[in-house]
Structure 1
């Protein structure tokens, strides 16, 4: 038994059997009918039965499903920076995280369209508790990150995750996607947790941390949605946090959020990838000798690149003006766009609760505020 077995995706040799086991599952049928509405069931079933690798499943099925999602629930996806990445090269993509499934699916869609290596991607175990979702996750090359463990178990789990990432990039030449923090950003503040970088460093072995981070080829990723289809669903947790209360998720809340993210209206979407952090890592390690400072400086670099590359939309500027009761950024949106956003606000949030209103607006306004804090902010 491999030490990666508890967390790894399927091997290609396991794919066909796994597909046969879920081919007639109601959720698989629903996904296939959504993706291929004009194709007879026996046609896509026969194709599934002839699928023997994750790549074939991704290209022949998942890619088309994502195209249908974009068609039905968005005004289109734009991208930037991918032309600067090299083919047949494995990268570690460290990304802000807004949507459970789509962040990685859209990144892989873009990588595929640019002829680049697709990723193996981290996913929390809380999101794959249903057997079907666990199988589908492994079929789309996700590896599991376990949450809510004891301190000792968490260290052991982090080491396995770190070794899996090292093996994927350096031995298998497979790119990896991880979020910059545990869980999705719910308040619009995209900040890298130092613990993520500490986890990465666990598997460096005898290699210096500088050389190891350089070998991983770290690429910051910024993904932004004009509308967050799960914005209202995030409100209870934000309110609990504002009231210094412990938030307990409802049963099936993660699944409801997952489906809302996929099918909810997102309007425009943009993914930007930065350059590989080579010069930045050299600069940090030339200046800092203490491990804590090295990692802290690297989180600051990641934050700066992710925030500066984040595509701002009319909704972000509308929210900031509403939050400040001003019209400072009125040139960045139309009256009709403001009316549409206000309608979304009024329908989704208890307007009698000022904290709820403020949290909803801040969720959209904070990306602008964070860009303002950068030296060369230009909203144009």
Structure 2
């Protein structure tokens, strides 16, 4: 399948060569020393040298790296919904997106621990421009989303990616993770972009698009962090958007954000996987015969699942009350939790800038607003 060579991860036959080419890189040493602090360098190098598959690399090394991240920068990961998934079955996980690396890594840790098929995961090629990061992403079963292309090339790239996702799901029995929109959510408002669904549909050979979406088994995923480790780093872009300015990233901004997401404090983390959207797809296919309306309705069904099952933390309720100068949700947090959050706010951002304060608080408060819409419907 040479047509996918520009975007695919390593085949297992290429894994050992990929590992050996990274073995003496200082970043590999940093990762392994972090993961196995009591292990001599010669020992992990020897173990890596004997690794010949992505699964072995993920299970024997990266799994332990993520456990160390959780141990050192969180108060633990909880999950729900995984027991409903079937073993040896591939799913298309469409997820809200908070953190570049951790969202998909934590999902894979959870899938592995539940004995389920792990994912191939989409990653923007802008994040892996450095040779080591590209190789590491290929070892972690990432496939590339090509960014910043002119319209004609973007169309061809989207079709290629759609075909590759179909190949993974339907012929290789490999689950796939993709974010519900391009880039991470900066303002706490999780919404599925119809463009993502249109891209996925490009690979369909079904007469009716909704039949294809049923076949690939769409599962919405909701991930929430009590503290977003990159909250302050998201502020400059939010401020630019608030002023209707074009935001230009700093040279190493993506890499700094990637690193901050891994080592920054997250406190508690929760991942919920929803039900396969078969019933919803059947319903919207009956209600609409227009393909665009069907896609919009499917995006809404994904949003409904993600927002309803989003785990709200004390930080979300505190931010809502601070933003709206109210005590509406005071029963959901303690005075100590509120003081801690206020201290974080003061340390992270310029308190003399009301726009920045509002943006920071809204990032945490918006999930409360979004979830309350569903609470009110009950």
Is 1:285 equivalent to 2:285 in the alignment?
Answer: yes
Q: Look up the match of 2:200.
A: 200
Counting matched residue pairs gives: 378
SS in 2 for 1:268: strand
Q: Contact between 1:371 and 1:377, CA under 8 Å: does it hold in 2?
A: no
Deviation at 1:206, TM superposition (A): 3.9
Q: Look up the match of 1:191.
A: 191
Tell me the distance in 2 between the aligned counterparts of 1:224 and 1:181.
Answer: 16
Runs of 4+ in 1 over 4 A off after TM superposition: 375-378
**Alignment of structure 1 residues 246-265 onto 2, 5 Å:** 246-265=246-265
Q: Look up the match of 1:164.
A: 164
Tell me the distance in 2 between the aligned counterparts of 1:282 and 1:206.
Answer: 15
Deviation at 1:69, TM superposition (A): 0.3
Tell me the distance in 2 between the aligned counterparts of 1:331 and 1:237.
Answer: 33
Deviation at 1:372, TM superposition (A): 1.2
Q: Look up the match of 2:149.
A: 149
Q: Look up the match of 2:229.
A: 229
Is 1:35 equivalent to 2:35 in the alignment?
Answer: yes
Q: Look up the match of 2:12.
A: 12
Q: Deviations over 1:92-136 (max 9, x none)?
A: 000000000000000000000000000000000110011110000
- Given the two structures, how large is their TM-score scaled by the length of structure 2? 0.99
Q: Look up the match of 1:356.
A: 356
Q: Look up the match of 2:47.
A: 47
Q: Deviations over 1:37-91 (max 9, x none)?
A: 0011111111000000000000000000000000000000000000000000000
Deviation at 1:207, TM superposition (A): 3.9
SS in 2 for 1:222: strand
Deviation at 1:312, TM superposition (A): 0.2
Deviation at 1:375, TM superposition (A): 4.7
Q: Look up the match of 1:105.
A: 105
RMSD: 0.9
Q: Which runs of 5+ in 1 are unaligned?
A: none
SS in 1 for 2:223: strand
Tell me the distance in 2 between the aligned counterparts of 1:266 and 1:71.
Answer: 11
Is 1:75 equivalent to 2:71 in the alignment?
Answer: no
Instruction: Identify which range, 201-210 or 23-32, moves more after superposition.
Output: 201-210
Is 1:176 equivalent to 2:169 in the alignment?
Answer: no
Tell me the distance in 2 between the aligned counterparts of 1:224 and 1:183.
Answer: 16
Tell me the distance in 2 between the aligned counterparts of 1:207 and 1:139.
Answer: 36
Deviation at 1:373, TM superposition (A): 1.5
Deviation at 1:377, TM superposition (A): 6.8
